[in-house]
Amino acid sequence: MATRLPDLWRAQADAERMYQLYLVRLQRNGLHERVVTACRQIRRYAARGPGRPAGLFTFFFEVDSLVALNSYHAAWRQAQLRDETIRGHRVSLERRRWSAKDSSELAYTYAPLMYFLKRYALGCKLLETSLGFWYQRPKAQSYDVLFHVYNADDEPRIRPRVTLAHFYRRLGRDLKEWALWSTFVNRLAAPLFPIAGVERKALLEDASKLTVLFANLVRVREERVTSGVTRGQADLIESPAKVKRWQNATRARAQRFRNDPARERTRGLLLQHFPELQGLAR
């Protein structure tokens, strides 16, 4: 029998934050079926308390757990239910006129879910649309979308790891066919190329060299980013000494946060509300 959750809105107990911390803990421990059940229970509490919008935060927890369970059609249904809750109707991916404000949803929700549903042509078009909005910005830098274009995963398992390269591979296409390929390459900052050991011209002519560029940039980033927090391109193109100073200061701030007594009080409250978390990894 499923554990019944407390109604923290009724208890006036910082409901959204506590529920989010609870769901994070469940996901970190791989308890995805429990996440799905809990999300639906939380939304019922929201509906009878502060209103359905208060429960919107649960949808992406549920979608990600359904993806982890390989329940892709169910994940898509829940994404559509979220749209209905927000907009009053489901979004037609084929007919909707997208705008720049949709860019994040396209890249992180709709395109990845289409990948998992094997609707590769549609998903590819959605991700290309999102990237197109990015390049409408006059000073857009390609490093900021590099991880939407390519990563080293043979097969993505979670939404944020689905890239344009995955779609192109499934569709039997070369990334050079992407209408914005030259824009992408030309908007990579010049200092990145000697770090990666790849010339810009060579990359323009041969998209397979993106594999080498990516691997070398990630290797250098991992060497420099010692705090677990990255500033993106700055960690690669600023001097090693400057990056090290920032990383050391960030590690010190993180340690002060971990030692903050308020964190222990929050953990105590979490276990008080959700005893089932006792013994689970943090």
Q: In this predicted structure, which of 24-28, 59-63, 138-142, 255-259 has the lowest mean pLDDT?
A: 255-259
Per-residue pLDDT for 122 more than 80? yes
Residue type at position 253: R
Q: What is the pLDDT of residues 128-180, one digit of tens each?
A: 999 999 999 989 999 999 999 999 999 999 999 999 999 999 999 999 999 99
Residue 50 CA to its chain's centroid (Å): 28
pLDDT at 22 over 50: yes
What is the arithmetic mean of pLDDT over 268-273?
A: 94
- What is the rounded CA–CA span in Å between residue 104 and residue 99? 11
For residue 107, give the DSSP letter.
I
**What 8-state DSSP symbol labels residue 230?**
-
- Domains in the chain: boundaries: 1-90, 102-187
The torsion defined by the Cα of 101, 107, 109 and 115, in degrees rounded to 10, comes to 150
Over residues 254-282, the mean pLDDT reads 90
**Residue 235 · residue 214 · CB < 8 Å:** no
Q: Predicted confidence band at 2 (pLDDT cuts at 50, 70, 90)?
A: low
Between CA 213 and CA 203 the distance in angstroms is 9
What is the model's pTM? 0.92
